[in-house]
Amino acid sequence: MQNAESIVQRYIDTWNETDPVRRQTLISQTFTEDAAYTDPLASVGGHAAIDQLIAGAQAQFGGLQFSLANGGVDAHHDQVRFTWQLGAPSPDAEPLVVGFDVVILEEGRIRTVYGFLDKVPSLS
């Protein structure tokens, strides 16, 4: 379980890393070469596409940070699930976005991410 928690924290750190070189290093440490990421808004594969996805999210939600939501990480075998949130860096701030991810691990790195969005901002 502790290994799963550290992998998930590295995953969250990757989404928060705004320096492209450091983010790409984190991606290579966190994801397998053939990693796939799928959520309701995107479906990408490989390090370059994951990097572009994260950079796009950062451009859209500049100044906000991802964090692990209460409840922590639940893992068994090579499967991990957790809830995350995106919001202002203040611990008292209401998150703008809340999601739930299931990741499949392979040799200590993420092979697949299945993302779900539980709370998204209104477009009106």
Domain chopping of the chain, boundaries: 2-119
**What strand order describes the sheet that includes 109-119?**
42-45, 31-39, 109-119, 97-106, 79-87, 65-76
Q: Is 11 exposed, middle or buried (0-12, 13-18, 19+ CB in 10 A)?
A: buried
Rounded distance, CA 93 to CA 63, Å?
13
Helical ranges in the chain per DSSP H: 2-16, 20-30, 47-60
The fold of the 2-119 domain, in CATH, is Nuclear Transport Factor 2; Chain: A, (3.10.450)
pTM above 0.85, yes or no: yes
Tens of pLDDT, residue by residue over 45-103, are 999 999 999 999 999 999 999 999 988 899 999 999 999 999 998 878 899 999 999 99
pLDDT at 123: 59
Rounded distance, CA 52 to CA 108, Å?
23
Instruction: Give per-residue burial for 96-116: e unless 16+ CB within 10 Å, then b.
Output: ebbbbbebbbeeebbbbbebe
Q: In 10 A of CB 29, how many CB atoms?
A: 13
